[in-house]
Amino acid sequence: MHSEKLKKREYEARLPALRAELLEAQNSLRKANFPVIVLFAGVDGAGKSEMVNLLNEWMDPRWLINRAYARSSDADTDIERPVFRRYWHDLPPRGQIGLFLSAWYSQVLLGSVAQTVSESEFPRHVQRICRFERTLATDGALILKFWMHLDKRRQRKQLERLEANPATAWRVTHTDWAHWAMYNRFVVAGDQIIDATDAPLAPWRVIDGADHRYRSMAIGQHILDAIKKRLNVASPVPVPTDHKPSPVDWLSGVDLKQTLNKKEYRLRREQAQGDLNRLCRQAKQQKVSSVLVFEGWDAAGKGGAIRRILRALDPRTYRVIPIAAPTEEEHAQHYLWRFWRHLPSAGNITFFDRSWYGRVLVERIEGFARTDEWQRAYNEINEFEQELVESGIMICKFWLHIDQDEQLRRFEERKTIPHKAWKLTKEDWRNREKWDVYEQAVNDMIQYTNTSYAPWTIVPANDKYTARVHVLETACEHLQKTLSSRTRR
Amino acid sequence: MHSEKLKKREYEARLPALRAELLEAQNSLRKANFPVIVLFAGVDGAGKSEMVNLLNEWMDPRWLINRAYARSSDADTDIERPVFRRYWHDLPPRGQIGLFLSAWYSQVLLGSVAQTVSESEFPRHVQRICRFERTLATDGALILKFWMHLDKRRQRKQLERLEANPATAWRVTHTDWAHWAMYNRFVVAGDQIIDATDAPLAPWRVIDGADHRYRSMAIGQHILDAIKKRLNVASPVPVPTDHKPSPVDWLSGVDLKQTLNKKEYRLRREQAQGDLNRLCRQAKQQKVSSVLVFEGWDAAGKGGAIRRILRALDPRTYRVIPIAAPTEEEHAQHYLWRFWRHLPSAGNITFFDRSWYGRVLVERIEGFARTDEWQRAYNEINEFEQELVESGIMICKFWLHIDQDEQLRRFEERKTIPHKAWKLTKEDWRNREKWDVYEQAVNDMIQYTNTSYAPWTIVPANDKYTARVHVLETACEHLQKTLSSRTRR
């Protein structure tokens, strides 16, 4: 690579205008509906940290988020949670800029250099990165990735120059020289990663880091141009999808006539609660986490089913997350962001009372999500769940199914029992009128998200006893299976 | 203690009304401006978890938060952060109810029983709890604490009964019997803790847990009465404080004439940056965290001073938190809540660009905080900082001081330089008109929060070079002192 330079005089002449324009762009961005994600990776000494510091100096730090990550052993807030949880957690809200140092590239890059990431594992790492960036980019995030380059000779020179000056010698550590010795491996790994993760919506730009004025100006200008260009696009172009209504009517096949008498219910419930308690203690020891998702018609008995499970568990190991309208902070992020927040830590359980499936149910039907948004959500959700399963989390998804008559009966009952009346809202009656469109949406949801790694369980729930035992026994089964597959490994 | 009972018939007769009223109270609470914090502690088998489950059944779970905590070794999200961080993090927002199992009592209770908390440490644990509850209660939180009691004979019977039934035998663990064997110690420790933490704004209520109907009804009724009573209080009665304007004029004594030429500035800056880098790496190894607070007049150079420090640091070890208006989620909590969110993890550094001192500066002057609120904030802040220091965090607080002429000069300069113009807002000019009241507020702040464990450093900042070097060298000094005091231990 031919090394580029910028004279001091030219740099100083151009700088004030660039800074003023960057600030102006940042200001316009605040009213925009997308975040900007800037990532720096590359060779040590090519100016990654310096660039982050410089951008902090140039722009308004109140709307900038800086994130650099220690090695994973240090990632105290994320121990034994999926690796990407912290990157999700740290994403800038719409209207703001996030500056990331290496971040989601460091594991695969350092792993490839140190050969702890094998050739066969490499594609999985890269795929995970591509998915993450694609998910954000299709939601509107502007993603800019800079690979800071330095040739081997210059890297050595840079380190030597810093070492020679007593005032800056502290900047050079053993690690720097160790990395320098592996320069060739580093460059090869870098090339592979750039190739594999360069995407139209998340492109790499390789920057020669030898001359600090050249690289600063080039990156600053590039960020400015990209933001300005994006601000001028009227609105994101919806990506056309090929959504077809589900050819299968999943709900019609459910036998809602099953019942269970009280005695048998008690027997099976207590048996299953005992089993589940034992399995959960085992899961805790083996650090297998679980996510249990409860969806279902209004009044189908989601809450009651969850409570029958809770009674079998140690309260220190679970959290129940009821999903209502998003908060302001949640609303300023990708819709999956608020679910990443609540993932269980090692060996623990999160119950979602309603979940990310709201995207393809209520948000689809009420128009809170655009057509292209809910249509691409099936795939996003599948990828999200796959990510969790690959991190060792077990997922159980329940659809509690009742028919229209049973719902009406329960609505009427709620009206008359004082301590149940609160459960019944005008929204419930409105939703009821849309039974048919919901039915289609539920069928589509099951059709397109019923994956091998996170299958749906449709629970016949006209009879509450049947439903509760069904849920409890299914949770046991899944957990049993997950635990034995882990032990076999 | 005489064991209380409630007949099944009576329980079932009273229950529907209680449930309906609890729901009604919960609904009224949602519009109220305070949270409800309910804590359960006490003897195993006396029904703590069952009570939490029951309240979840009785009330609307969307406005209930349940928190039970694993032993601290498991507290993955809080490793090496101050113990109370997680309790702060989990507090219910205003209008909601939080149900806590043992929580901030478990460490001192189990520690007293196991004799890992010595008699000399006991007061410190208790003091920390009292402060936490007082801080929340004076801010309006309704705190209800239930100590679930069971006599030794009954505890044994309870465990035996559960064990005898194959369906419930799993509920009884070795730990339960181990705790039973230590019953007497447990009760003695419990009595001591109840005595030491029973406060008018956070009272204990001892409940006999032998009869599940009696205890459920008693607790449900107590919670209901307390919420109703509190909802009927027009507004919290401001606690009168004895605030006196600071007798000392801290700012007038600052010598703003000092200057530093560029050459000497560079020399001393690089020296201090080198020192700081070395010290921070040492701090990282020794897991000493730091909090650096930057306050000062508008245009005093807070951002510039912070950046000169950042350049000496590894970006993976620090976060800069600029403090602007609180978000919706933050606003629904005690004003200190949002600072607890951003405390550094082990060995890391958080820079606050403005901070909790906004409470006694802008919030005081603009009337965002009531008089009693900002007046009691001095003490709250001192306790907050003491908590951090006792958890091993070093705190450095800087007030960057300039005079009115220098501020005007900088405002005018900002107007003319395009890349600085964004920094100047109408608010800055408005604040400037209130220079005198701010001056009084700053003097009060320094007078009342200049503690031995978290002293203020007033930085003469008319000359930027002087200010930056002053900040860098002070940070080095403090860190050096903190590190050597740790090593001596």
Neighbour count for residue B175 (Cβ, 10 Å): 9
B235-250, pLDDT tens digit by residue?
666 666 789 999 999 9
**Residue B418 maps to a domain:** yes
Query: Do both B213 and B276 map to the same domain?
Result: no
B76 and A277 within 8 Å at the Cβ level: the answer is no
**Residue A256 maps to a domain:** no
B69 and A316 within 8 Å at the Cβ level: the answer is yes
Q: What is the pLDDT of residue A427?
A: 87
Which residues of chain B does A273 touch, with a Cβ-Cβ cutoff of 8 Å?
Answer: 167
Q: How far apart are CA A294 and CA A300, in angstroms?
A: 10
Calculate how close chain A gets to B48, using CA atoms only, in Å. Answer: 10
Q: How far apart are CA A344 and CA A317, in angstroms?
A: 9
Q: What is the pLDDT of residue B286?
A: 92
Residue B72 has pLDDT above 60, yes or no: no
A328 and B324 within 8 Å at the Cβ level: the answer is no
Q: How far apart are CA B271 and CA B478, in angstroms?
A: 16
Q: How far apart are CA A91 and CA A462, in angstroms?
A: 43
Which residue, among B56, B276, B422, would best test binding to A if mutated, counting the most A CBs under 10 Å from its CB?
B422
A168 or A67: which leads in pLDDT: A67
Q: What is the pLDDT of residue A73?
A: 41
Examine the fold and report which residue of B216, B232, B248 is the final residue of a domain before the chain moves on.
Answer: B232
A53 and B307 within 8 Å at the Cβ level: the answer is yes
Amino acid in position B22: L
Query: Do both A370 and A274 map to the same domain?
Result: yes
B52 and A346 within 8 Å at the Cβ level: the answer is no
Helical spans, DSSP H, in A332-370: 337-340, 362-365
E strand or H helix at B486: helix B464-488
DSSP one-letter string for B174-204: HHHHHHHHTHHHHHHHHHHHHHHH-BTTB-E
B125-172, pLDDT tens digit by residue?
999 999 999 999 999 999 999 999 999 999 898 889 888 877 677 778
Query: Do both B266 and B224 map to the same domain?
Result: no
A418-457, pLDDT tens digit by residue?
777 777 888 889 999 999 999 999 999 999 999 999 999 9
Question: For A45-49, B304-308, B484-488, which range has the lowest pLDDT when averaged over its residues?
Answer: B484-488
Tokens of residue B158, six digits: 């309870």
B287 to chain A: nearest residue by CA?
Answer: A74
Tokens of residue A355, six digits: 């979940």
Helical spans, DSSP H, in A172-321: 174-181, 183-197, 212-232, 262-286, 302-310
Q: Which of B53, B70, B167 sits opposite A311 (nearest CB)?
A: B53
Q: What is the pLDDT of residue A56?
A: 87
Percent of chain B with pLDDT over 90: 70
Tokens of residue A176, six digits: 């720097």
Calculate how close chain B gets to A328, using CA atoms only, in Å. Answer: 6
Which candidate, A284, A301, A302, A280, places its Cα nearest to that of A293? Answer: A302
Q: How far apart are CA A23 and CA B109, in angstroms?
A: 55
Tokens of residue A18, six digits: 């660039």
Which candidate, A254, A219, A250, places its Cα nearest to that of A59? Answer: A219
Calculate how close chain B gets to A168, using CA atoms only, in Å. Answer: 7
**Residue B156 maps to a domain:** yes
**Residue B254 maps to a domain:** no
DSSP 8-class letter at A393: -
Neighbour count for residue B83 (Cβ, 10 Å): 16
Which residues of chain B does A57 touch, with a Cβ-Cβ cutoff of 8 Å?
Answer: 307
Query: Do both B322 and B437 map to the same domain?
Result: yes
Q: How far apart are CA A456 and CA A448, in angstroms?
A: 10
Examine the fold and report which residue of A211, A232, A253 is the final residue of a domain before the chain moves on.
Answer: A232
Tokens of residue B406, six digits: 């220098």
A327 and B328 within 8 Å at the Cβ level: the answer is yes
The reply to whether ipTM tops 0.90 is no
**Residue A325 maps to a domain:** yes
Calculate how close chain B gets to A239, using CA atoms only, in Å. Answer: 33
Calculate how close chain A gets to B245, using CA atoms only, in Å. Answer: 33
Query: Do both A266 and A228 map to the same domain?
Result: no
- HSE (CB half, 13 Å, CA atoms) of B195? 8
- Please tell me which of A272-286, A393-407, B56-70 the model is most confident about, judged by mean pLDDT: A393-407
Q: How far is CA A395 from CA A9, A294, B207, in A?
A: 60, 11, 39
DSSP 8-class letter at A296: E
Q: How far is CA A380 from CA A4, A139, A369, A406, B137, in A?
A: 41, 11, 14, 33, 44
Length of chain B: 489
Q: Which of B79, B315, B422 sits opposite A52 (nearest CB)?
A: B315
- Contacts made by residues A300-304, CB under 8 angstroms, sequence distance 24+: A300/A400, A300/A401, A300/A402, A300/A407, A300/A461, A300/A467, A301/A400, A301/A402, A301/A461, A301/A464, A301/A467, A301/A468, A302/A353, A302/A354, A302/A400, A303/A353, A303/B61, A304/A464, A304/A468
**Residue B247 maps to a domain:** no
Residue B49 has pLDDT above 90, yes or no: no
Q: What is the pLDDT of residue A2?
A: 58
Which residues of chain B does A319 touch, with a Cβ-Cβ cutoff of 8 Å?
Answer: 66
A43-89, pLDDT tens digit by residue?
888 889 889 989 988 988 778 888 888 764 434 444 467 889 999 99
Total structural domains within chain A: 2
Q: How far is CA B12 from CA A107, B6, B380, B489, in A?
A: 59, 10, 46, 61
B344-397, pLDDT tens digit by residue?
988 999 999 999 999 999 999 999 999 999 999 999 999 999 999 999 999 999
Query: Do both A133 and A280 map to the same domain?
Result: no
Which candidate, B149, B114, B178, places its Cα nearest to that of B42? Answer: B149
Which residues, in sequence order, are bridge partners of residue B64? B97
Q: What is the pLDDT of residue A202?
A: 96
Query: Do both A191 and A331 map to the same domain?
Result: no
Q: Which of A60, A76, A322 sits opposite B62 (nearest CB)?
A: A322
Which residues of chain B does A419 touch, with a Cβ-Cβ cutoff of 8 Å?
Answer: 16, 19-20, 22-23, 58
Query: Do both A198 and A332 map to the same domain?
Result: no
* Residue numbers of the domain that contains A446: 262-488
Which residue, among B86, B101, B316, B352, would best test binding to A if mutated, counting the most A CBs under 10 Å from its CB?
B316
A68 to chain B: nearest residue by CA?
Answer: B316
B11-26, pLDDT tens digit by residue?
999 999 999 999 999 9
Q: Which of A27, A74, A345 sits opposite B422 (nearest CB)?
A: A27
Instruction: Give yes or no for a contact between B467 and B266, defined as CB atoms under 8 angstroms apart.
Output: no
Q: What is the pLDDT of residue A236?
A: 61
Neighbour count for residue A413 (Cβ, 10 Å): 13
Which candidate, A289, A302, A273, places its Cα nearest to that of B165? Answer: A273
A49 to chain B: nearest residue by CA?
Answer: B315
Sign of CA dihedral A56, A58, A62, A65: negative
Sign of CA dihedral B444, B450, B454, B456: positive
Which residues of chain A does B52 touch, with a Cβ-Cβ cutoff of 8 Å?
Answer: 315
A22 to chain B: nearest residue by CA?
Answer: B419
Question: For A283-287, A313-317, A394-398, B382-386, which range has the lowest pLDDT when averaged over its residues?
Answer: A313-317
Q: How far is CA A73 from CA A80, A83, A178, in A?
A: 10, 11, 20
Instruction: Give yes or no for a contact between A441 and A365, defined as CB atoms under 8 angstroms apart.
Output: yes
Q: What is the pLDDT of residue B143?
A: 98
B416-472, pLDDT tens digit by residue?
887 777 778 888 899 999 999 999 999 999 999 999 999 999 999 999 999 999 999
Q: How far apart are CA B357 and CA B310, in angstroms?
A: 22
Q: Which of B69, B315, B421 sits opposite A66 (nearest CB)?
A: B315
Q: Which of B60, B70, B322 sits opposite A61 (nearest CB)?
A: B322
Which residues of chain B does A27 touch, with a Cβ-Cβ cutoff of 8 Å?
Answer: 422
Which residue, among A422, A425, A472, A476, would best test binding to B if mutated, counting the most B CBs under 10 Å from its CB?
A422
CATH of the domain at A468: 3.40.50.300
Instruction: Give yes or no for a contact between A91 and A334, defined as CB atoms under 8 angstroms apart.
Output: yes
Query: Do both B228 and B266 map to the same domain?
Result: no
A316 and B417 within 8 Å at the Cβ level: the answer is no
How many helices (DSSP H) and strands (DSSP E) are in chain B? 20, 10
Three-state DSSP class for residue B146? strand
Q: Which of B101, B315, B345 sits opposite A315 (nearest CB)?
A: B101
Q: How far is CA A340 from CA A317, A375, A387, B155, B463, in A?
A: 18, 21, 11, 41, 47
Residue B78 has pLDDT above 50, yes or no: no
DSSP one-letter string for B446-484: HHHH--SSS-EEEEE-SSHHHHHHHHHHHHHHHHHHHHH
Residue A488 has pLDDT above 70, yes or no: no
Calculate how close chain B gets to A308, using CA atoms only, in Å. Answer: 10
B103 to chain A: nearest residue by CA?
Answer: A316
Tell me what the pLDDT averaged over chain A comes to: 91
Cβ neighbors of A391 (< 8 A, separation 6 or more) are: A81, A82, A83
Residue B2 has pLDDT above 80, yes or no: no
Mean pLDDT of B16-45: 93
**Residue A249 maps to a domain:** no
**Residue A359 maps to a domain:** yes
Size of interface A-B (CB pairs under 8 A): 141
B22 to chain A: nearest residue by CA?
Answer: A419
Query: Do both B211 and B108 map to the same domain?
Result: yes
Which residues, in sequence order, are bridge partners of residue A295? A399
A418 and B16 within 8 Å at the Cβ level: the answer is yes
Q: How far apart are CA A165 and CA B9, in angstroms?
A: 87
Neighbour count for residue B449 (Cβ, 10 Å): 21
Instruction: Give yes or no for a contact between B256 and B401, defined as CB atoms under 8 angstroms apart.
Output: yes
Helix axis angle for B48-58 and B8-29, nearest 10°, is 60
Mean pLDDT of B308-320: 86
Instruction: Give yes or no for a contact between B202 and B140, defined as CB atoms under 8 angstroms apart.
Output: no
Calculate how close chain B gets to A32, using CA atoms only, in Å. Answer: 18
Question: For A43-57, A124-138, B204-218, which range has the lowest pLDDT when averaged over its residues?
Answer: A43-57
B324 and A17 within 8 Å at the Cβ level: the answer is no
Three-state DSSP class for residue A370? coil
Query: Do both A415 and A315 map to the same domain?
Result: yes
B168-202, pLDDT tens digit by residue?
777 788 888 888 889 999 999 999 999 999 999 99
Which residues of chain A does B81 touch, with a Cβ-Cβ cutoff of 8 Å?
Answer: 76
Helical spans, DSSP H, in A326-463: 328-331, 337-340, 362-365, 371-390, 404-416, 418-421, 426-433, 435-449
Bridge-based pairing of strands A318-322 and A456-460 is unpaired
Query: Do both B377 and B336 map to the same domain?
Result: yes
